[in-house]
């Protein structure tokens, strides 16, 4: 369900994604809100050159700014909403959940690494040769959390960022992957 703040907040995330693109980074922008108040923002860094890494995703950067702004666990403010230009990966989704996000609004689907379709209600069976827990069934840490996913908000504008990124010869991040191929040849069909 679309809320009245979804479009303006996604527009703000797109501006952050555009800034990342202009800096040569992967164009993911993220805004985290409590009600209509922005409490965190971030864009992707560390996606170019030899020092590229998989830690400084836009969602992680936005969570960090939440802590800087409010000085404590962001979930203390109540249910939070995350707006991001690209569907969050598993790492980012876990971090968002742990930090109180109950609603994720994204623009463009990540066909390669998006985590919004993961079933958080399944239980995990853990087997270990080092710990006496053969066949132990653990309740999944997120199983009782309710989270709403809203995809495709301003999708065309978000897709445009990723098309621009992948059309640049110097953009090597995730080069040769399903996401690049889908973005350039299939996403608009």
Q: Which of 22, 50, 54, 59 is catalytic?
A: 59
Backbone angles phi, psi at 140, to 5 degrees: -65, 135
Cα angle at 98 between 97 and 100, to 5 degrees? 65
Q: Which of 22, 36, 67, 31 is nearest to 165 (CA)?
A: 22
Q: Look at residue 164 and give its three-state secondary structure.
A: helix
Cα angle at 105 between 104 and 106, to 5 degrees? 115
Say whether 59 is catalytic: yes
Q: What is the dihedral of CA 157, 162, 164, 169, to 10 degrees?
A: 180
Residues designated as active site:
59
């Amino acid at each position: 369900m679309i809320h009245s703040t979804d479009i303006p907040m996604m527009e703000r995330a797109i501006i952050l994604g555009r800034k990342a693109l202009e800096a040569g980074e992967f164009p993911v922008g993220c805004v985290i809100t409590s009600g209509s108040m922005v409490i965190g923002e971030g864009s992707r860094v560390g996606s170019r050159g030899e020092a590229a890494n998989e830690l400084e995703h836009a969602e992680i950067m936005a969570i960090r700014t939440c802590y800087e702004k409010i000085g404590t666990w962001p979930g203390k403010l109540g249910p939070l909403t995350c707006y991001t230009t690209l569907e969050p990966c598993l790492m980012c989704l876990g971090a968002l959940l742990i930090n109180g996000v109950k609603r994720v609004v994204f623009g463009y689907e990540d066909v390669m690494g998006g985590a919004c379709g993961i079933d958080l209600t399944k239980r995990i069976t853990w087997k270990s040769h080092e710990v006496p827990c053969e066949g132990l069934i653990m309740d999944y840490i997120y199983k009782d959390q309710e989270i709403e996913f809203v995809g495709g908000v301003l999708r065309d504008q978000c897709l445009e960022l990723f098309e621009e990124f992948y059309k640049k010869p110097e953009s090597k991040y995730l080069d040769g992957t399903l996401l690049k191929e889908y973005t350039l040849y299939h996403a608009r069909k």
